[in-house]
């Protein structure tokens, strides 16, 4: 089968499309014929060994100290179950499924445990749109609903609101009943208002730390702000919640606890099937929609990596593993 493989950490050119053996599902596993897969911020950080905030060693211990432990990236997929291993009960061959599998999605076939964050694809949803949903949608849902416990009527400032997580956070915050102030480039203002943002600030011109409004939550999806910078725009019991964090943020967390007033929280979310099911419910209620900023065929995976690494993408970047015409037939 074809797969985008990287043997060493490095620039985008370290990834190449080559032939590797098709995986075989073991006990409790499903084999997915991939139609589309997302290429996320996590993928380029793993490929480049670009772990944030002094966490290089921890990142290498997780991904492989000297070379990548998983040669094929791609956490989010959508496709068709091609085969199942012994003991599988959730899915059967022929089922259209999508979700978060951890790695291996940038290939014709991928294997995942049936207990992973997988779900049947809603009727009529193309593979590309299904693959665009899990990475950003799951993070946004868990951080806003569970960590921040966002409630109707509260005010949230979303930094990086047009990105891979931010575009979903904007929609989910509105679905939870919050007032949303989105921070992004001015060129994304209409796009974000269409997603539900009540106000859009231009990160190039507006001084976020001098805002007059006091927010219940600042959700930074891109690592552009810090707790000391944003505490002035938070209410007394407000929360600063960064998606990405490093060693410096551990110090800020301690300072926040000692100082009192606006709080700070650090979290790493699990990817659970019940949370993916919650996203499907929001999708069916038309409170959430997949956001695709760019699409690339598997053969242009290097170009896709460069695009994501530039950090100016809107929503998700999708890799068409199967031909789009084949995806349409499946849908």
Q: Is the pTM of this model over 0.85?
A: yes
Measured between alpha carbons, how far is 13 from 325 in angstroms, rounded to an integer?
28
Secondary structure of 304-316 in HEC code, one letter for each residue: HHHHHHCCCCCCE
Are residues 244 and 151 located together in one domain of the fold?
yes
Indicate whether 269 belongs to any domain: no
Structure token digits, residue 67: 């070379």
Structure token digits, residue 208: 């976020």
Q: What is the CATH number of the domain that holds 249?
A: 3.40.50.720
Whole domain around residue 187: which residue ranges? 135-264
Are residues 115 and 155 located together in one domain of the fold?
no
What is residue 294's predicted lDDT score, i.e. its pLDDT?
96
Indicate whether 274 belongs to any domain: no
What is residue 324's predicted lDDT score, i.e. its pLDDT?
63
Query: pLDDT tens digits for 151-172?
Result: 999 999 999 999 999 999 999 9
Are residues 126 and 204 located together in one domain of the fold?
no
Are residues 313 and 199 located together in one domain of the fold?
no
Measured between alpha carbons, how far is 226 from 209 in angstroms, rounded to an integer?
10
CA-to-CA dists, residue 73 to 3, 37, 45, 264, 320, angstroms: 9, 10, 11, 32, 14
Are residues 141 and 256 located together in one domain of the fold?
yes
Indicate whether 277 belongs to any domain: no
The segments of the chain whose pLDDT lies below 50 read 328-331
Last residue of a domain, one of 246, 264, 282: 264
CB atoms within 10 A of CB 153: 9
Beta-bridge partner residues of 173? none
């Amino acid at each position: 089968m074809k797969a985008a493989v990287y043997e060493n950490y490095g620039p985008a050119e370290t990834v190449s499309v080559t032939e590797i053996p098709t995986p075989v599902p073991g006990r409790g596993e499903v084999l997915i014929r991939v139609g589309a897969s997302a290429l996320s911020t996590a993928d380029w950080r793993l490929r480049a060994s670009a772990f944030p905030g002094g966490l290089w060693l921890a990142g290498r211990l997780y991904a492989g100290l000297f070379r990548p432990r998983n040669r094929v990236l791609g956490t989010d997929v959508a496709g068709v179950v091609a085969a199942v291993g012994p003991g599988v009960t959730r899915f059967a061959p022929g089922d259209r499924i999508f979700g978060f599998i951890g790695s291996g999605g940038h290939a014709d076939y991928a294997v995942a445990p049936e207990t992973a964050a997988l779900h049947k694809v809603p009727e009529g949803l193309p593979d590309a749109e299904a693959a665009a949903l899990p990475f950003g949608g799951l993070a946004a849902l868990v951080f806003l609903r569970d960590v921040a416990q966002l409630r109707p009527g509260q005010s949230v400032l979303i930094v990086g609101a047009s990105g891979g997580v931010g575009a979903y956070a904007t929609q989910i915050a509105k679905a939870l009943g919050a007032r949303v102030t989105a921070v992004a480039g001015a060129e994304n203002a209409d796009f974000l208002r269409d997603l539900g943002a009540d106000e859009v600030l231009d990160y190039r011109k507006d001084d976020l730390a001098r805002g007059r409004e006091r927010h219940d939550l600042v959700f930074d999806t891109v690592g552009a702000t810090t707790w000391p910078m944003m505490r002035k725009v938070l209410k007394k019991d407000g929360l600063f919640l960064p998606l990405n964090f490093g060693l410096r943020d551990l110090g800020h967390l301690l300072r926040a606890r000692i100082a009192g007033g606006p709080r700070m929280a650090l979290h790493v979310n699990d990817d659970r099937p019940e949370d993916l099911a919650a996203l499907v419910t929001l999708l069916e209620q038309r409170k959430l929609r997949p956001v695709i900023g760019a699409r690339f065929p598997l053969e242009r995976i290097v170009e896709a990596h460069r695009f994501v690494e530039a950090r100016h993408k809107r929503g998700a970047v999708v890799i068409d593993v199967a031909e789009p015409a084949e995806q349409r037939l499946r849908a």
